[in-house]
Amino acid sequence: MSTNSEQSRPKKVTLVVFSADMDRAIAAFNIAVGAASMGMEAMMFFTFWGLNILKRRGAPSTSRGFIRRMLSAMSPKGPHNLPLSKLNMLGMGPMMMKKLMKKHSVPGVEEMLVLAKETGVKLVACTVTMELMGISKEALIDDVDSYAGVAAYLGEASQSDVTLFV
Amino acid sequence: MESDFTLDTYGLLCPMPIIKTAAKMKELQPGQVLEVISTDEGIKEDMPAWCKATKNEFLGIEEDGELYKVYVRKK
């Protein structure tokens, strides 16, 4: 690649979304959607607990094996059902936070997923942790752009101007 | 300041004013000016940064009570 075309390529942001905490997810989506709105390319790589953010609402769990079924039962059921990283208080915290956010017109994770799609943020799901945690493609929303592993992430991240682990 | 379009983001917090500005700017022709009305103080730093990243021209901010009126010219 010539120096010229490197200078003219759009700036890129990649985020590893490891956590399924609502507050962390909102921060990650804010950055990704903000970047896309600034003409940057944005990619979010969802792994481990972060996969729960991409779960389809009401998708039946098809996890096989006792441990996976327990894991599935004890994990957030989707973007509408995420805990807070602090002051979760058995679900009271997220309820109060959602109320506050609504009052101040701050988009929640579900709205952020829509905005991410609209602004062209790429959503990538980690296949290793999907397998490990027994999360099938059918259990995830259709908006997932691709299913990939660490090489795909590193390929993108090494070309990125900003990369963050949330 | 004169403007061709106005975008009202009253009551919206970061990053919504920027996201809505980016969407609205697609409707403008080069040279046209967009006025963005915001109540988020962050807009004072965010809009110049957005303009720099997207190569649009930041024309200035007028403060009117709780309102920030930001002017951007499409390149």
User: Domain residue spans in chain B?
Assistant: 1-36+57-75
Does A5 fall in a domain? no
Average pLDDT across each block of 10 residues of chain A; the chain has 166 residues. List them in order: 58 97 97 96 97 91 84 91 93 93 92 96 95 92 95 93 97
Does A7 fall in a domain? no
CA proximity to B53, closest of B63, B45, B65, B62: B45
Interface test with A, best of B9, B18, B19 (most A CBs within 10 A): B19
Is a pLDDT exceeding 70 seen at residue B7? yes
Task: Please tell me the predicted confidence (pLDDT) of residue A7.
Answer: 57
Please say whether the beta carbons of B1 and B29 come within 8 A.
no
CA proximity to A77, closest of A101, A96, A51: A51
Dihedral angle of Cα B19, B22, B28, B32, to the nearest 10 degrees: 100
Please say whether the beta carbons of B47 and B21 come within 8 A.
yes
Restricting to A residues 58-77, those with a Cβ less than 8 Å away from any Cβ of B are none
Task: Please tell me the predicted confidence (pLDDT) of residue A1.
Answer: 43
Task: Please tell me the predicted confidence (pLDDT) of residue A65.
Answer: 87
- In angstroms, the separation between the Cα of residue A140 and the nearest Cα of chain B is 26
Q: Which CATH number fits the domain that encloses residue A137?
A: 3.40.1260.10
Which residue range forms the structural domain that includes residue A135?
Answer: 14-165
The correct answer on CATH 3.10.310.10 for the domain covering B1-36+57-75 is: no
Task: Please tell me the predicted confidence (pLDDT) of residue B21.
Answer: 96
Mean pLDDT over each residue of chain B, to the nearest integer: 95
CA distance A37 to A31: 10
Catalytic residue among B3, B4, B12, B14: B14
Neighbours of A151 (CB within 10 A): 8
CA proximity to A40, closest of A146, A163, A152, A124: A163
Q: How is residue A33 written in tokens?
A: 């959607």
